[in-house]
Amino acid sequence: MTGFKQKFVDAAVQAGALALAVAFTSALLKAAGASPLETYRQLISGSVDSFAEFAYVLRGWVPLILATAGVLITFTAGLWNIGVEGQIMLGAVFTTWALRLLQGADLPPAVVLAAGIAAGMIGGALWAALAGALKTYGGVHEIFGGLGLNFVATAISLWLIFGPWKRPGIGSMSGTEPFPETLWMTELASGHVSPWALGLAVAGIGVVALLVRNTGFGLRLKAVGKNPCSSHRLGIPPARYMMWAFILCGLFAGAAGALQVTSVYHRLIPSISSGYGFLGLLVAMLAAYRALWAIPIALFFAAINVGSIQLPIMLQLDSSLSGVLQGALVLFVLMAEGARRRWMRSS
Amino acid sequence: MNVELRNIQKTFGPVRANDDISLTIPAGTIYGILGENGAGKSTLLKILSGYLRADSGALLLDGRPAVIRSPADGIRHGIGMLHQDPLDFPPMEAVDDFMVGRSGKFFPDRKRACAELGKLAGDFDFSVDPEARVDSLTVGERQQLEIVRLLAIGVRVLILDEPTTGISAGQKQKLFQALRQLSGQGMTIVFVTHKLRDVEELCGQVAVFRQGRLIGETARPFDEGALVRMMFDREFERPHRSRAALGETVLEVRDLSVEDRRLSVSGANLELKRGEIVGLAGMDGSGQELLLRACAGLIRPVGGRVCVSGRNLTRRPYREFLDAGVAYLPAARMEAGLVRGLTVTEHCVLAAGRNNFSIDWTGAERQALKRISDFDIRARPSSPVESLSGGNQQRVLLSLLKEDLRLILLEHPTRGLDIESSIYIWDQLKKRCQNGAGVLFMSSDIDELLQYSDRVVVFFSGRMSAPLDAAGLRAETIGQRIGGVGFE
């Protein structure tokens, strides 16, 4: 098959998967007694009708693309870093800790914020290194290790919110005492999204794109992911590279958590990761593990999330519909990919 | 049960694994199947037991045509196979393993199974503890468990694939005793082996296979010389060999002991000089790959010493072997050599070492093109390695070797390659020798061993012979030694 024809077939398969996902979700909506067209219209208008709404989308895009950037590294090394969720949480915890420590000190807010974000990245990296050590030295599969560590991370953040860091008076699900406004990252005019956070996110995905494609490190990571045995024989120690993949991923996840604290919630709240870690895994899969494709896909996912917020008000539909649509999309794309491979093999 | 195979054909791609095989195995005999690696013995028996399906041919059981589509079918017809690597359930207790695979009630009666296992084991003087976990048993005990399991589900034809590999002498005696007892009761026993002594001791009749064909059948008493000729004899012309000048010692192995789950090699001694080629002969799994891997630093020896160019590298990390100029080319090229999904260019970058932070893709592609033309690889720089033929994959692996190697270790350097590629690979290796490297390789191809080695070492069940000078060595002599002659 020629390259052009191949590309055409690939695109057609992807489009087909997209159509199937939409058809599937529409059928669900029909069954629930809602009009699919009206729902999609609401989804779209809820996310891009105004600049403020779009700023909300970008605000969701930042942690999502950072989490995606992280898991792209672990995917490259052949690892299912499902613990990315907990790594985001630990990032948020470390950032909160650093800000609490430094907020009383006589330091410029920019320095405190930078220190907070750095602490968050380190926290995420440490949590990821734990999953990595369990995998490479303890023989615990990263999915189980990550899953366990996610629970522990949730427990840690709850304990902090209701224990040592609780609000004066009584601890509550609304989180810790908010930081003074001097420690809020600056936001764009109409609010909701910080240009600094956006810049960090863009830089993050850019670094990963370069790292995976254009560095020797990235290529060795890829080799380890595809065949640890051959890599070892070629003189590339798989365990060390897997550890590095975890640590780098943790840095990005930690940054996502840090930004949730510094530019979105301005405090630590329970489940501050908001599922962005898991969603990041989906984005990476849907982007076929290509960093640049992840940018629009993450944007699309963030838009669906924001757009679905008004579904309960406008159409009496639950906002979890966004998750249904995202999940269906990933499943149908993966299924189409599987079907395409089978078909290629038999033809 | 009488088993009759008629005109069995089976090909794997271009390889004729079974070429028009017809055999009759009467009930109550112990029937030996003898042949070297790749002779087609295992293929035939996998067809008989339902693991593989023949391309054509027929099977008759007690004179009636039978069709066996799966191992379950095979067992329904009363045919059970004891595989070379026991196909049991390591994390289970022996009695649970024993109960697996029998049609039975929803709630199996564990107590009765325990008693049954104990009784059957007792009949044959086997020592299987029903409560022990399977992975705590020795290979011999696992084999015994598998045999009583097959008997308990009513097998009437018992196929054993190389059963005497990896078990102790005592266990072997018990096994043979049990097999004689069973054949006395009318059981049909098919015994696959490459060991001449086993055949002589146990079998009533034997069929010899070579390169997918049935060469001949003989009955007791066996003529050992005739068996060896049938196994190994072939038209063979030895071309002129040009030897490289030998230099100082590049590899020294002293009293080396290595082991894996199945086999142990102890007291291995070998010396290899620069410019020398030493071949390791033997059936697969006789210990030669253990020695090779220990010399490459891929497995840690239990005892003894490995020195490369005078440096003692025993139990040092693999990395230090690489730095000392050791290279290892595996037989499983796609599993343990190349990385599926990466291109030739990407492999060149990987092989270049670890000092490249950012990749110069144009330079790397130029590199790849140079290697492709230097090594006559039929591929483009952007070809994924898995799309290459075996010969071209081997060429890629060769092209990735560093310039100044001291020791090159190879498993089956030309397995699966066509003649042109084989000759090319060996030309390259000889060139390396002329430049001062030593080559140690294992092969199951006797022609290859004789043609390219300066000396040949034969392995049999974890023991190694003294090095034999390849000049004047006859294929038959190697064949006999592979079959275990001279190892008593």
Residue A335 lies in a domain: yes
Give the CATH number of the domain where residue A208 resides: 1.10.3470
ipTM attached to this prediction: 0.84
Q: What is the CATH number of the domain that holds B432?
A: 3.40.50.300
Question: Is residue B331 in some structural domain?
Answer: no
Q: Are residues B340 and A219, on separate chains, in Cβ contact within 8 Å?
A: no
Asked if residue B276 and residue B308 are part of one domain, the reply reads: yes
B161: enclosing H helix or E strand: strand B157-161
Q: Is A207 on the interface with B (CB under 8 A)?
A: no
The dihedral region occupied by B164, where left means phi > 0, alpha psi between -120 and 50, and beta the remainder, is alpha
Q: Which residues form the domain of B397?
A: 339-401
Domain total for chain A?
1
Q: With a CB-CB cutoff of 8 Å, which residues 313-372 of chain B face chain A?
A: 318-319, 322, 328, 330, 335-342, 346, 349-351, 353-359, 361
Q: What domain count does chain B have?
A: 3
**Residues B350, B310 share a domain:** no
Do residue B223 and residue B280 come from a single domain?
Answer: no
pLDDT of residue B236: 46
> At which of B170, B198, B232 does a domain end?
B232
Q: What is the pLDDT of residues A212-225, one digit of tens each?
A: 988 999 999 999 99
Q: How far is B408 from chain A (nearest CA, A)?
A: 13
Residue A9 lies in a domain: no
Residues B208 and B309 in one domain: no
Q: Cβ contact (<8 Å) for A216 and B342?
A: no
Contacts of A33 (CB under 8 A, 6+ apart): none
B286 and B219, same structural domain? no
A223 neighbourhood in chain B, CB within 8 Å: 339, 342, 346, 350
Question: Do B264 and B218 fall into the same domain?
Answer: no
In a domain, B346, yes or no: yes
Asked whether residue B288 falls in the same domain as residue B419, the answer is yes
Residue ranges, chain A, pLDDT below 50: 1
pLDDT of A93: 97
Residue A36 lies in a domain: no
Provide the greatest CA pair distance for chain B.
73
Nearest CA in chain B to A210: B358
The answer to whether residues B287 and B251 belong to one domain is yes
Record: contact B339-A223, CB cut-off 8 A: yes
Sequence-ordered list of residues with C-beta below 8 angstroms from that of A345, at least 6 positions apart, any chain? none
Chain B residues near residue A236 by CB distance under 8 angstroms: 350, 354
Could B339 and A226 be called an inter-chain contact, meaning their C-beta atoms sit closer than 8 Å? yes
Whether B333 is in a domain gets the answer no
In this structure, the answer to whether residues B391 and B442 fall within a common structural domain is: no
Q: Which of B384, B401, B418 is the last residue of a domain?
A: B401
Domain contains B332: no
With CB atoms and an 8 Å threshold, state whether A233 touches B330: yes
Of B149, B137, B209, B143, nearest to B176 by C-alpha is B143
C-alpha gyration radius of chain B: 25
Q: Count other C-beta atoms under 10 Å from residue B310's C-beta.
A: 10
Which residues from A are below 8 Å from B318, CB to CB? 232, 235
pLDDT in tens, chain B (488 residues): 899 999 999 987 777 889 999 999 999 899 999 887 778 888 899 999 998 899 999 999 999 999 999 988 999 999 999 987 778 888 888 888 888 877 667 777 888 888 989 998 988 888 888 888 888 888 888 889 999 999 988 899 999 988 887 777 788 889 999 999 999 999 999 999 888 888 889 999 999 998 889 999 999 888 888 888 888 775 545 555 666 778 889 999 999 999 887 788 988 999 999 999 999 998 888 899 999 999 999 999 999 999 999 999 999 999 999 999 999 999 888 889 999 999 999 999 998 876 667 888 999 999 999 999 988 888 899 999 988 888 889 899 999 998 889 999 999 998 877 777 888 889 999 999 988 899 999 998 888 898 899 999 999 988 999 999 888 888 888 888 888 888 87
The answer to whether residue A217 is domain-embedded is yes
- Is A227's CB within 8 Å of B358's CB? no
Tens digits of per-residue pLDDT, A67-85?
999 999 999 999 999 999 9
| A269: containing domain | 48-346
Among B192, B217, B232, residue at a domain's last position: B232
Contact A233 B339 (CB under 8 A): no
Query: Quick one: which of B371, B393, B376, B375 has its CA closest to B384?
Result: B393
